[in-house]
Amino acid sequence: GNAGGGAGSVVWCGSTLKTSVPAIVGLAFAAALGAVVLFLTMGNAGGKVPGPAQLQVLARVATAGASTAGAEKATFAAGCFWSVELAFQRLPGVSKTQVGYIAGTTPSPTYEQVSSGSSGHTEAVEIQFDPASLSYRDLVQVFFEIHDPTTLNRQGNDRGTQYRSGIYTHSEEQAKVAEEEKANTQKALGKTVATEIKPATTFYAAEAYHQQYLAKGGQCSRTGTKDNIKCYG
């Protein structure tokens, strides 16, 4: 997580709407552009606008709760885990998310240890999803869309190894899909993608106050929500 300003955030759950002039302008701009990708609105400068992959998944009709029978697991690191979790919480087919730490060396690290870089972990989100309604490839495509995978150990103003881009796979098939989508993203961007792809190691759940942080703060986590996501503390 990080601590930035909350200006420009949008929350629209049910009949509740909280917004600001910058948010309204941003949404109008996105609507006018239509299919043009507002790709990589990074850091704390403004809300992250859903891109094409997210919009395609969000447009699907949500079932009455994603099935947990035959559920699979996916783990991604894409900078501040607060906003990353909220993006995945909203996807139809996702039944559970939790933020935590992975790919480090210190057992049961604290947030302070991870933030200092001493534990070697990265902030990550572990996702439980129903592969019958949401494919792993869908998740990987959304992952590459919601952050800048070309910056090493940095997302916007957040710097450090704890903010590195990573995909931590739970099967050989996941690793194959991750490598394919990494290559596709690199080709599309015309830049080297810094995302590390490794077999998942022990995932340590973060402290309770980090879990669903932005949803608790008022940003809508309802399945299918397309509102901008603002990462703030």
- Taking 3-state DSSP, the helix, strand and coil percentages for the chain, each rounded to the nearest 5, stand at 30, 20, 50
Yes or no: say if 26 and 228 are a contact pair by the CB < 8 Å rule: yes
- Is 80 labeled as catalytic in the residue annotation? yes
Contacts 24+ apart (CB under 8 A), 9-13: 9/47, 9/219, 9/228, 9/230, 9/232, 10/47, 10/219, 10/227, 10/228, 10/230, 11/218, 11/219, 11/220, 11/227, 12/220, 12/225, 12/227, 13/220, 13/221, 13/222, 13/225
| Residues known to be catalytic | 80
